[in-house]
A and B are shown apart, each in its own frame.
Chain A
Amino acid sequence: MNSFNAGWSLRDIRFRHPRAPQDAIDGVTLETRAGHITALLGPNGAGKSTLLQIMLGVLSPSSGSARFGDRPLAAWTRTELAREIGVVPQGEAEPMFTVREMVAMGRYPYLGRWQRERDVDAAAILDAMRRCAVDTFADRWLGTLSGGERQRVRLARALAQEPSVLVLDEPTTSLDVRHEMNTFELLRTLRDDGVTVILATHNLNLAARYANDLVLLHKGQIVALGAPVTVLTAEQISRVYEWPVSVELNNDGAPQVVPLGAPPETPPAPLRARRSMEIAT
């Protein structure tokens, strides 16, 4: 699948949302590596989704240079990007489409305006549905599926794009343990097949077990970058997530983050303050 180095090269990227007081992305420099699983970590509001949207070309950085593959991101058309990058976004509207119709939309960048689905398209759709185990209910309406099933349908749609890079924004939020593990196992299989995977996630421990590279974001800046053992240190995670944690090593050598009890430096609020809070709410 990799005809070229399917990765990003970001140089000092800055981005500020309209009317925002400060930069959401504040000088990010990052080289992603092809054939790796890269996880973007960081607390809510750290800039993970904004950074992904810049990498996907739907937000333009205020300054800095962003390249994807062999040329600047701005030189790619949406169709060209859609043939290289499959995206699993966080939330979507769900009109009355069947599972197969939804997965078939992954073939959009390959078909002309009036072109009918070809055999190669049908094969790619079927293969993507099988990989995500949604082929057994291909004719059901999206609205009748569970949250986990919908997530797998979105993943299948991205795979139907036959991408060299897969980008996922918090793909396992709202999934139970089994579906979460299935998703990460599938990402590992895809990586072994040569697909580059970039995901934003809050699950530090699964990121540590499955990702090759971790990127820790805090207030729009990269505060740590590299292999899981170098990024997931107790000191770093406690500081960025503003909660004390300890880090232990798993049987397979992956660091595992364990949140501790309430931070000792914040004493319980005095009674009067609590009363006034109750009144305020």
Chain B
Amino acid sequence: MESTSATPITLPARATAHYAWPIAFRLLALAIILLIALVTAIRLGAVPLSTAALLDAIAGRGDASTVAIVRQLRMPRAFQAALVGAALAVSGATFQALLRNALAEPYILGVSSGAAAGAVATVVSGWSVRTVWALPVAAFAGAIGSMLLVFRIAFSVGRALDSRVLLLAGVVVSSFLVALIWLLLTFADTESVRSAIFWMMGSHAGASWRSVSILAICLVPSLAVLFALARPLNLLAIGESTAAYLGANVERTKLIAFGMATLLAAVSVAVSGTIGFVGLVVPHAMRLVWGSDNRGLLPCAALAGGAFLVAADTLSRTLAGANELPIGVVTALVGVPCFVWLLRRPAAK
């Protein structure tokens, strides 16, 4: 009844699923990996610390500068990376289910280009230097604004939230905003261009406890809402009419899920710039291992995305000595080979 141009979402690694790993075990394993990633991230840096020294510094004992490095720099940075990774991975998994498209990712509805347009505008105009808050606020406003524009276009074309129309609207709005960004940068000075480009490649260098708490306040409820929508999202991943026939409230589920997934992407982009790849690949990696059931997939993607981004951030600030690599470069350079390995993994018996 519904013409589904079904894009197969990644090939199964095995012909048969095996449930040797109940959801609780998967979550426990991923939580342990996340914890190891966090501890490693906080220990490593220009001044490496032993685990004992780390615990002392967290408790506030010992050398004052070490305490400051751990408490004010490394901990907020690691936590921010974990929260952003979780947000992007869950956002990406949600978009992939909603749009039934393997290439869907958190920025697909123009969130990143909207945020970048806002950020670049503050950089070029010089506001970002005068007020610390100008850039993240403008980025967030740009992200939400571009999303509203995409939805406005989609609504004016058809009354339902047709995923094909949404995708197209996202592409054209993005292209338009990217053109605006280059237009702004054409008239900007070299230093502004450099900082705008570095912002667009993403970084956690600006992390503070304040940014971490704002992230947490936005993320925890939206993650909870999306976890609660896992079952209707499973139905939507098959098809919209099928979901309706099975009893789901399709339009309401889509509206809430699109809104929450976009909010996750917008908040992440506002605090750390556009970090690609995490939202696309972490959900696929989880699917390859444990299947598409969103009840397991969404929480697993949150933990795995967090761990992945913490590890990538640690590499980005330690690999090149004093220079910091853009985190988007690290996520792709490390992530792509891992993902190819996962794709090519021989089928288990």
Contacts and interface: CB of A to CB of B under 8 A. Distances in A.
Interface of A: 18, 49, 52-53, 56-58, 78-79, 81-83, 85-87, 89-98, 101-102, 105-106, 108-109, 111, 113-114, 139-141, 143-144, 157, 161, 169
B322 interface: no
Contacts of B250: 78
A197 to B, nearest CB: 15
A166 B11 CA distance: 32
A95 B247 contact: no
A96 B292 contact: yes
B3 interface: yes
B291 A53 contact: no
A96 B239 contact: no
23 contacts: A52-B1, A87-B242, A89-B2, A89-B241, A89-B242, A89-B245, A92-B2, A93-B7, A93-B238, A95-B237, A95-B238, A97-B234, A97-B292, A105-B234, A108-B231, A111-B231, A113-B228, A113-B231, A139-B16, A139-B18, A141-B12, A144-B15, A169-B1
A144 B8 CA distance: 12
A157 B243 CA distance: 12
A93 B239 contact: yes
Nearest to B14: A141
A174 B172 CA distance: 38
A78 B249 contact: yes
Given A95-B237, A98-B291, A108-B231, A78 B247 contact: yes
Given A90-B1, A93-B6, A113-B228, A78 B17 contact: no
Contact of B10 (A82, A96, A105): A96
Given A95-B100, A96-B12, A114-B228, 11 more contacts: A56-B245, A58-B245, A78-B247, A81-B247, A92-B4, A93-B4, A111-B231, A139-B18, A139-B19, A141-B15, A141-B17
B244 interface: yes
Contacts of B245: 56, 58, 81-82, 85-87, 89
Contacts of A143: 8, 11-12
A89 B249 CA distance: 18
A225 B100 CA distance: 39
B287 interface: yes
Given A97-B293, A140-B16, A92 B238 contact: yes
Rank and list the top 9 A-B pairs by shortest CB-CB distance, nearest first.
A82-B247, A109-B247, A93-B6, A87-B245, A95-B292, A96-B292, A141-B12, A79-B247, A98-B17
Interface in B220-251: 228, 231-232, 234-235, 237-239, 241-242, 244-250
B9 interface: yes
A241 to B, nearest CB: 21
Contacts, number: 121
Q: Is the interface of A mostly helix, strand, loop or mixed?
A: mixed
A94 B241 contact: no
Interface in B261-296: 287-288, 291-293
A91 B4 contact: yes
Nearest to B2: A89
A185 to B, nearest CB: 24
A224 B3 CA distance: 28
Nearest to A109: B247
A111 B246 CA distance: 11
B291 A144 contact: no
B16 to A, nearest CB: 5
B12 A144 contact: yes
A106 B97 CA distance: 18
Nearest to A96: B292
Nearest to B7: A93
Contact of B248 (A49, A57, A108): A108
Contact of A109 (B11, B97, B246, B287): B246
Given A89-B239, A94-B6, A141 B291 contact: yes
B16 A89 contact: no
A19 to B, nearest CB: 10
A87 B8 CA distance: 22
Given A90-B1, A139-B18, A53 B241 contact: yes
A94 B7 CA distance: 8
B42 to A, nearest CB: 35
Nearest to B102: A95
A180 to B, nearest CB: 19
Given A96-B10, A143-B12, A58 B291 contact: no
A176 B98 CA distance: 33
Interface string B178-216: 000000000000000000000000000000000000000
A114 B231 CA distance: 9
B112 to A, nearest CB: 25
Contacts of A169: 1
A67 B236 CA distance: 27
A107 to B, nearest CB: 9
A93 B238 CA distance: 5
Contacts of B15: 140-141, 144
